Structure 1
Amino acid sequence: MSAVTDAPARLAVLASRVRAEEKGILDALEQRRIPVEQVDPRRLSAGVGAPVGPWSLVLNREISATRARYAAVSLEAAGTPVINSAAAIGTCGDKWLTSLALQRAGVATPRTVLALTPEAAAEAIERLGYPVVVKPLSSSWGRRVSLVRDPDAAQAVLEHCAALPAPQAHLIYLQEFIDKPDRDIRVVVVGGEPVAAAYRRSAHWRTNVAQGAGTQPCPLDDRLAKLAVATAEAVGADIAGVDVVEDRDGAMYALEVNAGVEFAGLQAAHQGRVDVAGVIADLVARRFRDLTKGGAG
């Protein structure tokens, strides 16, 4: 992909599926008089040095992590800035890379181990101690995440991983289980500023909204805000959904970062008092105007 410099400045929102979040962002950008179009990445192809579109800036809201990452890599190679960047998408899309980034930045996060084989994972689980959480390196919505409480359960989970055909499934990401209340916290961070937070509550140990968890407003105090901002900065994300867990003593740990954050549930929890789409549109509009000052559009 390469930039087209002689066309009027335009903004693209990259999305193969327009959910409530993308519709809100598109509407907010139009209200801010930003020339914007929704682009389906399934219709794009990238050739080395070949122009694809006349975009001065791209907001990446593609739901497929693979397409989102490679679209961002290709656009950036052609000189088109992307929010979030390819580097941020790559880090957030890999739990081990996220853990390494958080550790380097000194962000509180649970003890974590990457085992390169299921056999090595069995030994690592014994070192971490039970219970332990087993996660795939890249997944969303709580899929293929297991809480392992004893050696028999560990053997069953690891045998399942070993039987999966994808080589990446044989890399086992292990994390100590934080004994938490019946909730975790999602914080949305945009442009280095915390926007809002919501509790995700469930009777099950997994608290993903996609797994049926409910949402409630969460007070965004200074401690939570600082942790969320530091986490987003650690992975280089301009727009981030930061997942935070608290233990029974109130200590907080960053778990993961979502570079294509879904926020409809959070907004619903705040009953219209929070406009995440508007905050994202403000950030994108500022970047777009900065990039196009003195140029066309």
Structure 2
Amino acid sequence: MVPSIPARPDGDRIAVLASRIGADEKRLFEALDRRGVAFDQVDTRRRWFAAGQRDLPWRLVLNREIGQVRAEYAARCLTWAGVDVVNSADATAVCGDKWRTTMALQAAGLPVPRTALGLTPEAALDALDAIGYPALVKPLVGSWGRLVVRLPDRAAAEGVFEYVAALSGPRAHLGYVQELIDKPDRDIRTVMVGGELLGAVYRVGEVWRTNVALGGRTRPCEPTPEITKLSTDAAAAVGADIAGVDLIEDSDGRLLVLEVNHRVEFSGFEAALGDRVDVADHIVEHLLERERR
């Protein structure tokens, strides 16, 4: 456990934005209680903000909202009101959009799979022809590996994008497509807090998607200098203080950055590493350090 920093003065409260309280949020609440930090759990489903409002009771907010749109807009409202939000509204916006994440990672010179964005379903099919099959189509916004579809060939892609073309709304018609990396039956998840790598785990699955939410298992991964540098640079590229970074190995052993999560889930990560790391305690420590700057 990291050294303790004294709790903040009475009446100076932290808010935790969360409409769903899971195991990770409970761990964070326990860590705040252990430090004697007064906090409010704020359910964004019942929160509204007045234009120009500045008299909010918090100076610091930890954003754990699971809904991407609410997470970003709540962060922007709080920032406009003079509240320090972790992660920032900009980081939340970038991490919550796979295309914006890819562009941020590439701008930072980080290795990523070949990726394209078709502005229509027809254009996405053309992009896939250029990338080659097999390939993946992913939702711009989403997590836990949901709605990610493996496309073995052009016929399968045409079927998927015929469905996509029938969806309502122009955003739904954008096609984020990516090469399918020939990888081992695993990928790598790292957790970053305040620029520090807390550790790494392998996520191992029976199928090509290894997300823990889809049944993937975690086991320890010894962080190499390359894993540490890629994770540190990826979190910095998207501006995230707290991040889960997903890395993938290709058939030659080269590491690529897949994405960065602004609302990292860490129960599976801790289960693999045992008592070597307390993510919630590190997050609370980072919040207190940030407040004292």
Please indicate the TM-score interval, normalised by the length of the shorter structure: over 0.9
Alignment of 1:131 with 2:134, yes or no, is yes
| Corresponding residue of 2:43 | 40
Distance 1:159 1:141 in 2: 24
State the secondary structure of the residue aligned to 1:220. Answer: coil
1:46–1:52 Cα contact (<8 Å) kept: no
State the secondary structure of the residue aligned to 1:123. Answer: helix
1:197–1:218 Cα contact (<8 Å) kept: yes
State the secondary structure of the residue aligned to 1:281. Answer: helix
| Corresponding residue of 1:76 | 79
Between 1:233-242 and 1:197-206, the stretch displaced more is 197-206
Alignment of 1:171 with 2:181, yes or no, is no
Distance 1:286 1:96 in 2: 32
2:11–2:38 Cα contact (<8 Å) kept: no
2:186–2:210 Cα contact (<8 Å) kept: yes
User: CA-to-partner distance for each residue in 1:128-171, whole Å, 9 max, x for gaps?
Assistant: 01111111111111111111111111111111211222321200
| Corresponding residue of 1:143 | 146
Query: What is the Cα deviation at residue 49 of structure 1?
Result: 1.1
State the secondary structure of the residue aligned to 1:56. Answer: strand
Query: What is the Cα deviation at residue 8 of structure 1?
Result: 3.1
State the secondary structure of the residue aligned to 2:246. Answer: strand
Alignment of 1:255 with 2:240, yes or no, is no
Alignment of 1:110 with 2:119, yes or no, is no
**Counterpart mapping for 1:207-222 below 5 A:** 207-222=210-225
State the secondary structure of the residue aligned to 1:224. Answer: helix
1:189–1:238 Cα contact (<8 Å) kept: yes
| Corresponding residue of 1:246 | 249
Distance 2:177 2:41 in 1: 38
Which stretches of structure 1, 4 residues or longer, exceed 2 Å deviation after superposition?
A: 50-53
User: CA-to-partner distance for each residue in 1:4-35, whole Å, 9 max, x for gaps?
Assistant: xxx93211111112211111112112222222
Supply the RMSD in Å over aligned alpha carbons: 1.3
Which residue among 277, 284, 290 is the counterpart of 1:274? Answer: 277
1:135–1:144 Cα contact (<8 Å) kept: yes
**Which amino acid in the other structure matches residue 104 of structure 1?**
A
Which residue among 171, 183, 195 is the counterpart of 1:180? Answer: 183
Query: What is the Cα deviation at residue 51 of structure 1?
Result: 4.6
User: CA-to-partner distance for each residue in 1:101-144, whole Å, 9 max, x for gaps?
Assistant: 00110011111100000101111111001111111111111111
Alignment of 1:153 with 2:153, yes or no, is no
Distance 1:88 1:262 in 2: 16
| Corresponding residue of 2:3 | none
Which residue among 78, 90, 93 is the counterpart of 1:90? Answer: 93
Extract unaligned runs of 5+ from structure 2: 1-9
| Corresponding residue of 1:58 | 61
| Corresponding residue of 1:294 | none
Which residue among 29, 33, 47 is the counterpart of 1:30? Answer: 33
Distance 2:53 2:80 in 1: 11
1:32–1:285 Cα contact (<8 Å) kept: no
Extract unaligned runs of 5+ from structure 1: 1-6, 291-297
**Which amino acid in the other structure matches residue 138 of structure 1?**
V
Distance 2:167 2:207 in 1: 26
Distance 2:47 2:291 in 1: 22
Which residue among 187, 201, 205 is the counterpart of 1:202? Answer: 205
Query: What is the Cα deviation at residue 242 of structure 1?
Result: 0.5
1:44–1:52 Cα contact (<8 Å) kept: no
Alignment of 1:101 with 2:65, yes or no, is no
Query: What is the Cα deviation at residue 273 of structure 1?
Result: 1.9
User: CA-to-partner distance for each residue in 1:191-239, whole Å, 9 max, x for gaps?
Assistant: 0111111111111111111111111111111110110110000000000
TM-score by length of 1: 0.93
**Which amino acid in the other structure matches residue 148 of structure 1?**
L
State the secondary structure of the residue aligned to 2:36. Answer: coil
Distance 1:176 1:214 in 2: 24
TM-score by length of 2: 0.94
